Amino acid sequence: MSHPIDWFADLQQWLFEGLLQPLMFQLGLGNLLADGYRATGWLLVGLLELAVMLTVLRALERWRPVEPVTDRAAVRTDIVYTLVHRLGLFRVAMFFSVDPLWDWAAGRLHLAGLPTFELDRLWPGVTDQAWVSFALYLLLFDLVDYLYHRTQHQLGWWWQLHAVHHSQRQMTLWTDNRNHLLDSLLRDSVFVLLALLVGVPPGQFVAIVAVTQLVESLSHANVRLHFGPLRAWLVSPAYHRLHHAIGIGHESGGQGTLGGCNFAVLFPVWDILFGTARFDAGPAQPTGIRDQLEGRDYGRGFWAQQWLGLKRLAHRA
């Protein structure tokens, strides 16, 4: 695993020294060079992800689409969400708003005697330790992601925010990042704190985020793909589309009660272990939210969706 990390680090260094560092000095931001270097890493990850999405994932959608794309305006809105998140704009906002708070909180906890639990120390002496520790941290983060996602569907107030994601009735590879910004803030805060508490190395944290985001982009893609006998090992587009299906994926008993199935982000094993897995429906299930069929408006554009999400949250409270 060291070679890909070394290549990435060399490219990050070249991009930072050749582009961002001179710009930061010109703007009088020399005191933030370390943060700028980290931001360069996230930008590079986002650019690599977009390259894969525009080539591999887009080719899959053209190969075997589930349905024709008839609402291109909705897809363009999802592209805006993707660019905001994958190019680091949301992370820059996090850096200037809440990240200093989490760093301070983690520091205080460690000063109070809370040790950093390094998960990879459970496997001492294993050859190629970097791969083992990456796999362990990836499993831990995916388990927390499963629990987090399931809670979004069980708490009524949280669902009012998460509904922004499920209101997309034209699912494509761009749909993954269609989330309310407050919901994204909560999710990112959870995983930043988790990374600080368990001591994930920075390089591995970036790799975990990149792998997770690419698999999520694939699982939302408009492609007939279910992985056959391997469907229980990795979340497929067919498996996750069922989670978005009207009356099935985010309801219990099809009666509008919060609940649902197929909450796993990467590995369906969590759904299987906790009894929330379903493999029985085909990929052509219509997606969206039941009350959209009755005329409820979740917003068409980016800002309309954000505003209506806050209104639903306030009404619920």
Assess contact for 224 and 65: CB atoms under 8 A: yes
Q: In this prediction, what percent of the chain has a pLDDT beyond 90? A: 46
Assess contact for 275 and 307: CB atoms under 8 A: no
pLDDT tens across 277-301, in order? 998 866 678 899 988 888 899 999 9
Weakest-pLDDT range from 28-37, 147-156, 164-173, 210-219: 28-37
DSSP string, 245-307: BTTTTTSBTTTTBS--S---SS-THHHHHHT-----S-TT--BS-GGGTTT----SSHHHHHH
Would you place residue 1 in the very low, low, confident or very high pLDDT band (cuts 50, 70, 90)? low
Interhelix angle 156-166/302-316, rounded to 10 degrees, is 160
pLDDT at 132: 77
Write out the residue range of the structural domain in which residue 180 sits: 2-316
Assess contact for 25 and 185: CB atoms under 8 A: no
pLDDT at 127: 45
The listed range with the strongest mean pLDDT (24-33, 102-111, 228-237) is: 228-237
Domain total of the chain: 1
- 15 φ/ψ sector (left φ>0, alpha ψ -120 to 50, else beta): alpha
Q: What is the CA radius of gyration of the chain?
A: 20
| 18 DSSP assignment | I
Residue 252 phi, psi (nearest 5): -105, 125
Assess contact for 74 and 302: CB atoms under 8 A: no
Weakest-pLDDT range from 38-47, 122-131, 218-227: 122-131
Mean pLDDT of 163-183: 95
Q: Which pTM was predicted?
A: 0.86
Distance of CA 246 to the CA centre of its chain: 22
Q: Which of 140, 113, 74, 124 is nearest to 292 (CA)?
A: 74
What does the mean pLDDT of the chain come to?
84
The yes-or-no verdict on residue 262 having pLDDT over 90 is yes
